């Protein structure tokens, strides 16, 4: 398969690339790294990426994050970067990319544990992750050409503990091997409209 991985040089993305490259053609994309550059906050950049790549069999996104901060001082402006990036960025990958995915191909988006178990100061990320999950559930009913769509919802992955562990006190770590396997299931398997949770 020809597989596009947006965020393929990130913590999770590069492990997915390592797992898929032995038997698939993998193309990585990112804002500042990868085989092709894309800014998922910009719908025109997404359109150009797909036009340049042409048809692919699967599109995976592990890019995007959101604001963590004090709920009592949080404003709507704190939501916007995550909404424009992780939420609308992934949504636009599907809305634009559905014309470029082969019949019976797939989309795999990334949400996260915060959709169900928000960390302290994590209202923004919880909201965005919940929206992604809902979009996947709705899209699975609407996509044509036998396209599939799923979200992988990881907990705090082992490789991110040093960077983000202080934001998730008491959370169990998600083994990277299990997280990667969830993406492989979405790409190579037959599941559709699933939120693939890997919390520990």
Domain ranges within the chain, ordered by starting residue? 2-198
1, 54, 147, 192 from 141: Cα distances, Å: 24, 25, 10, 9
Residue pLDDT, tens place only, 171-194:
888 999 999 999 999 999 999 999
Average pLDDT, the chain: 94
Residue 116: phi and psi, rounded to 5, are: -110, -30
3-state helix/strand/coil string of 174-188 = ECHHHHHHHHHHHHH
Residue pLDDT, tens place only, 66-82:
999 999 999 999 999 99
Residue pLDDT, tens place only, 110-166:
999 999 999 899 999 999 999 999 999 999 999 999 999 999 999 988 877 667 667
pTM of the entire structure?
A: 0.94
In the structure, what pLDDT confidence band is assigned to residue 28 with cuts at 50, 70 and 90?
A: very high
pLDDT for position 165 = 67
Asked if the 2-198 domain carries CATH number 3.30.420.40, the reply is no
pLDDT for position 172 = 83
CA 55 to chain centroid:
20
């Amino acid at each position: 398969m020809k597989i596009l991985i947006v965020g393929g040089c990130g913590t999770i993305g590069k492990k997915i690339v390592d797992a898929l490259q032995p038997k698939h053609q993998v193309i990585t994309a990112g804002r500042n790294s990868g085989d092709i550059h894309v800014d998922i906050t910009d719908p025109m950049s997404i359109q150009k990426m797909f036009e340049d790549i042409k048809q692919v069999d699967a599109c995976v996104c592990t890019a995007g994050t959101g604001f963590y901060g004090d709920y009592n001082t949080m404003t709507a402006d704190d939501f916007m970067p995550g909404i424009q990036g992780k939420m609308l960025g992934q949504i636009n990958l599907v809305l634009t990319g559905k014309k470029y995915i082969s019949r019976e191909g797939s989309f795999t988006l990334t949400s996260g544990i915060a959709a169900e178990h928000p960390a302290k100061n994590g209202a923004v990320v919880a909201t965005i992750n919940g929206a992604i999950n809902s979009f996947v559930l709705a899209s699975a009913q609407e996509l044509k050409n036998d396209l599939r769509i799923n979200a992988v919802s990881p907990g705090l992955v082992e490789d991110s503990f040093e960077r983000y562990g202080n934001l998730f006190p008491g959370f169990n770590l998600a083994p990277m091997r299990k997280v990667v396997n969830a993406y492989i299931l979405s790409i190579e398997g037959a599941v559709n409209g699933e939120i693939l949770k890997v919390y520990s």
